[in-house]
Structure 1
């Protein structure tokens, strides 16, 4: 019999489901431990995090923890796989846009306009990041932000550790980034839906696959009279022009799924053809609520939902 627990972390809803209900307390402890390590390594909102220490001191062949090194390596993989649509050096841009503390503490407004017309190209410096094992060199004056990838990697790590340590099939969801591990007796049942008023779809997610949803409708705040969202176009360091309300992608790892869902938001009108060319299963919802999908995305849902995939 499966068991589930939910809680709030990093301003997001987290969900943990294990197929062996007796494993739930130990699984939650393992997940908490992984998430604590990720936060201490990479949080932009903790002055004692490694990432914030690097923001103050820079990094020139600087030794970092294995956790932070792995998170940076994953971010660089995402940057390469997205042709730069994901950039781990957007920290200063996010601060400039007012995203300098936890999202729940930022000013909110009902204004929906994020269409910033004045856009100036910014330098693309992430290819200059050097990471050799745990030795890191950053371009001078740059500020890491791993928000686009660290959450997905954390979900992957949590699921893998629970399955390995406790020998149970497991699903971990961190704010719409879903990772699975172990061999479940039945496919996991997922309700794919971004906001409460958006069209939903129920799908089956087989063990060993992950799912990520990126949204322009959540994690918003007000800055200088404009409504911002957290997915930036690295060419300009500004919120990506909103073509899609959300994009959901399935892939073998949550890092891969999140890479392509986030990059799809940045690519806008080119996203569907790009995701199709990569032979990915993807569901795209435009700003009018219309659903588009690649040929590999399931057309029908089955059974009853157990976990919600919210961006």
Structure 2
């Protein structure tokens, strides 16, 4: 197998294929897809389609790609009972996360705001209406969706097994290696780790209260917000990892688990998914037959 890595979206993209000759073309396909998604939905690019739509006060006809990305985000909000809410963008901006993490003004002030909630966003076909004052943040679902799309694209186009990792979001497609996909599950270097053998076509996501942090004045904040308080979720868990058929589904559950805190365990049990939770003290809890 051959693999390549490169920086993207304040994290690392990793591409692995089972057919070494497919690697150069596979990278071109993945980079092209990531560029399209970034241009469609980044809230950090003034030229993105999402930012342009946000300037409008009424219904806007959007591209099929952006419509799909918003649909995925709204479905995640509904499936999670509102725990994964794409309208937290304005709250993230008020807390200082209004640009790439590497360029955040650490000396600013973190301000708490309220949000209108995901039900205020209307999508009918390709017509999108974002209420005035609402800033959509699709980061909780777009990265996982991108991993799913890139894996399928490469497998279908190049007839190879493929693993696409975008930070904590990993999707596979096509045939797996003989020993399965060997995935190291560890958020931070000082966290407990394990190696998971994952069969072909499965996906895995890890969400963390530690991996995307920034300082704002004397406060250390992280990017998983509780939509009810519009503040970073309590650090009951360092990280949560879930295996599912699709990375978007896995990521929805891991994000919701961090927001729910102690209530994450019954929620994940009800969903009957393999899950691994690392508590604030470093202890590990596994559910759903993990691994």
Which whole-Å CA distance do the structure 2 matches of 1:209 and 1:132 have between them?
Answer: 31
Q: Paired residue for 1:101?
A: 99
What secondary structure sits across from 1:99 in the alignment?
A: coil
Give the Cα separation in 2 of the matches to 1:95 and 1:236: 15
Deviation at 1:285, TM superposition (A): 0.1
Give CA-to-partner distance per residue, 1:44-84, whole Å, 9 cap, x none.
Answer: 111000111122224x2211111111100000111011000
Q: How many residues align?
A: 288
Q: Structure 1 stretch 124-133 or stretch 27-36: which is displaced more?
A: 124-133
Cross-structure match for 1:169: 161
* TM norm structure 2: 0.95
Aligned partner of residue 148 in structure 1, secondary structure? helix
Cα distance, 1:41–1:199 mapped onto 2, change above 3 Å: same
Quick one: which of 204, 217, 221 aligns to 1:211?
Answer: 204
| Structure 2 runs not aligned, ≥5 long | none
Q: CA offset at residue 107 of structure 1?
A: 4.8
Partner of 2:132: 140
Deviations 1:126-182 (A, max 9, x none): 113221221111223211110111000000010010011111110000001000011
Structure 1 position 192 matched with structure 2 position 185:
yes
* CA apart distance, 1:205: 0.9
**Structure 1: which 4+ aligned runs deviate by more than 4 Å?**
none
Whole-Å separation in 1 of the counterparts to 2:140 and 2:242: 14
C-alpha deviation, 1:244, in angstroms? 0.3
Determine if contact 1:62/1:135 at 8 Å carries over to the other structure: yes
1:282 aligns with 2:275: yes
1:289/1:108 Cα in 2 relative to 1: closer, same or farther (>3 Å)?
farther
- What residue in structure 1 maps to residue 239 of structure 2? 246
Partner of 1:207: helix, strand, or coil?
coil
Q: How do 1:1-311 and structure 2 match up within 5 A?
A: 2-58=1-57, 60-107=58-105, 122-186=114-178, 187-298=180-291
Q: 2:226·2:233 contact (CA, 8 Å) conserved in 1? A: yes
Q: TM-score, normalised by structure 1?
A: 0.89
User: What is the alpha-carbon distance in structure 2 between the residues aligned to residue 6 and residue 189 of structure 1?
Assistant: 17
Kept in 2, the 8 Å contact 1:108–1:220? The answer is: no
Quickly say closer, same or farther: Cα 1:85–1:47, change in 2 above 3 A. Answer: same
Q: Which has the higher contact order (CA 8 A, sep 6+)?
A: 1
CA distance in 2, matches of 1:295, 1:56: 44
CA contact (8 A) 1:31 1:158 kept: yes
RMSD of aligned C-alpha atoms? 1.7
Consecutive unaligned residues in structure 1, runs of 5 or more:
110-115, 299-311
